[in-house]
Structure 1
Amino acid sequence: MSPRRFTLCADDFAQSPAISQGILDLLQAGRLSATSVMTQSPHWPALAAPLSALQQQADIGLHFNLTHDFANGPQLLKPLSHWLLLSQLRCLPYQALLDSLLRQIDLFSQHLGRLPDFIDGHQHVHALPVVREALFAAIALRWTDSNKPYLRAPDHLGHPGDSRLKAVVLQTVCRGFAQAASQHGLVCNRWFAGLYALTPEAGFATLMQQWLQHGEEGALLMCHPGLPADDASDPIAAARAVEYGYLGSAAFAEACRTAGVELGKFSH
C-alpha cells in the first residue's frame, strides 16, 4: 500500500527568532513540509533569505494576522473576540480588511520575491465571514494567472484534538468557508487537524499520532513548534518547545512510518 501524503505546516514563522529558527531546523530535517509567515513582523526581512533556501522542499505561505501586535507601525489589530463576534454579525470593515491583506501579501512578495503558495490565518481569522470575502478579492487582485494559492479550510476539521467544544466553535465560526472558496475557483484541504489546547500538558505526541492515523490522503495538519524560549509575550512558548522536541525526534519519524504517512507539499 502506498503511503498517504500529508502536508505538515508550522504556523507563526517570523513571529520571533526562536520560533523561526525552530521551524527552519525542522524544515531542514524534513520534519515539516510547509510554513506560514507573519509578514508584519520586524524579523521577517532578515528571515526571508534562509527560508527562501528551503522553498523547493516546502510550501511557504502567508499567515494573515489581525490579532498579534508587532508594535511596528499601523496595523488592523483587535482581540480575537472582536473578530469572532462582528464577523458573525457581518459588521466588519471590508475595505480595511482588503487593504491589510494586500499589505501583508506585498510584504511577503517584497522579501521572498514571489507570491505565497497558500494563505491561512493567525487564529483562523482568514476564514471568518467578511474577512473571507476580502481574502478572495485580494487574491483576484494579486494573482493574475491561473496559479492561485491554496487556502486552509478550518471548517474541514477532521479531528477535535483535545477539546470538542473548541472544535465546534471553530467549525461554527468558519462554516461555509471551503464552499465559498470553491465558488471562487480556489482549492482547500479536504481534511484538517492540529487543533488542541496548546499547553505542554496536552499530550501533543499522542494527539499527533491520532491525527496521523485518522487523516485522509492530502490532509493538512497545523503545528506551532519553536526553540525553547523564555518569552513572556508568547503564551504558548512552553507548548512550542514540546512540539519542537517531538517533531525532531525518532519517535515522530516512527509514528509517520507506522501510520503510513509521508510528508510533502500540498498537491492541488
Structure 2
Amino acid sequence: MTPRRLTLCADDYAQSPAISQGILHLLQRGRLSATSVMTQSPHWPALAAPLREMEQQADIGLHFNLTHDFADGPQLIKPLSHWLLLSQLRCLSHTALRDSLLRQIDLFSQHLGRLPDFIDGHQHVHAFPQVRDALFDAIALRWTTNSKPYLRAPDRLGHPGDSKLKAAVLRQACRGFAAAAEQNGLRCNPWFAGLYALQPQAGFATLMQQWLQACPDGGLMMCHPGLPADDASDPIAPARALEYRHLGSQAFAEACQQAGVQLGRFQA
C-alpha cells in the first residue's frame, strides 16, 4: 500500500529560542516536514541560519502575525477578537494589512535569502475576510514568477480536535478562503487538522492518532512543539513541551507507520 503523504508543520518558529530549538531538533530527526516563521521576532535574524540548513528537507514559510506583540518595530497588533469582529464587518484597512504582510515577507527574505514556500497565519488571521484580499495582493506584488507560495486553508478543517465549538468558529471565520485562494491561482491543502485546546490535559497523543487515521493523501497538519520553558509570555508552553516529547518519541513513529502515513513536503 502506498503511504499517505502528510505535511506536518510546526507553527511559531522564532517566537522564542526554546520554541525554535525544539522545532529544529524535530526537523533534524525527520519528525516534521514544515515550519512557519514569525519574522517580526527579534530572535529571527539569529535563528535564520540554522533553519537554512533544513531547506532541502522541509518547507519553510511565513507565519503571518497580527496578534502576538513582539514590541519591536512597526506592528499592526490587536487581540484576536478585534480581527474576528472587524473582518466580518468588513471594517479593516486593506492598505495597512497589505503593508504589514509585505513587511513580514520582506523580513523573511532578508534573513533567509529567498521568499517563503508557503504562508499561514498566527491564529489563522491570514484566512479572515479582508485579510485574505490583502494577502493575495501582497503575493502578487512579491512573487513575480509562476512559482507562487501555497497557502494554509483552515476552512478545510477535517477534524474538530477536542472542541466542536472551536472548530465551528474557525470554519465560519475562514469560510470561503480556499475557494478564493484557488480563484487567484494559489494552491491550498485539501485537508487540515491539528486544532485542539492546546492544554496538556487535552490528550495530544490520542488526538494525533485520530488525525493520522483520518488524514487523506496530501493533508496538512499544524502542531506547536517547543522545548520545556518557564515562559510567562507563552500561555501554551506546557502543551508545547508535551507535543515536543510526543513528536520525538518512538510511539509517534509507530503511530505514523500503523496509519500508513509518511511525512513529506507539500505537493499540490
- TM-score for the superposition, normalised by structure 1: 1.00
Task: Give the share of equivalent positions with the same residue, in percent.
Answer: 81
- Report what 2:36 is aligned to: 36
- Report what 2:260 is aligned to: 260
Inter-partner Cα distance in structure 1 for 2:186 and 2:57: 23
- Report what 1:81 is aligned to: 81
Inter-partner Cα distance in structure 2 for 1:24 and 1:215: 24
Pairwise CA distance, 1:74 = 1.4
- Gapped runs of 5+ residues in structure 1? none
- Gapped runs of 5+ residues in structure 2? none
**3-state SS of 1:6 partner:** strand
Pairwise CA distance, 1:104 = 0.1
Inter-partner Cα distance in structure 1 for 2:214 and 2:63: 26
**3-state SS of 1:123 partner:** helix
Give the CA RMSD over aligned residues: 0.3
Aligned residues: 268
- Report what 2:100 is aligned to: 100
Structure 1 residue identity aligned to 2:15: Q
- Report what 2:235 is aligned to: 235
- TM-score for the superposition, normalised by structure 2: 1.00
Inter-partner Cα distance in structure 2 for 1:172 and 1:21: 34
For residues 51-62 of structure 1, the aligned pairs below 5 Å read 51-62=51-62
**2:103 paired with 1:115:** no
For residues 146-225 of structure 1, the aligned pairs below 5 Å read 146-225=146-225
Pairwise CA distance, 1:73 = 1.4
Moved over 3 A (4+): none
**2:48 paired with 1:48:** yes
Post-superposition Cα deviations, 1:25-79, rounded to whole Å, max 9, x if no partner, equal 0000000000000000000000000000011000000000000000111100100
Pairwise CA distance, 1:204 = 0.2
Inter-partner Cα distance in structure 1 for 2:147 and 2:104: 19
Inter-partner Cα distance in structure 2 for 1:142 and 1:93: 20
Inter-partner Cα distance in structure 2 for 1:50 and 1:173: 35
Inter-partner Cα distance in structure 2 for 1:212 and 1:55: 25
Structure 2 residue identity aligned to 1:216: P
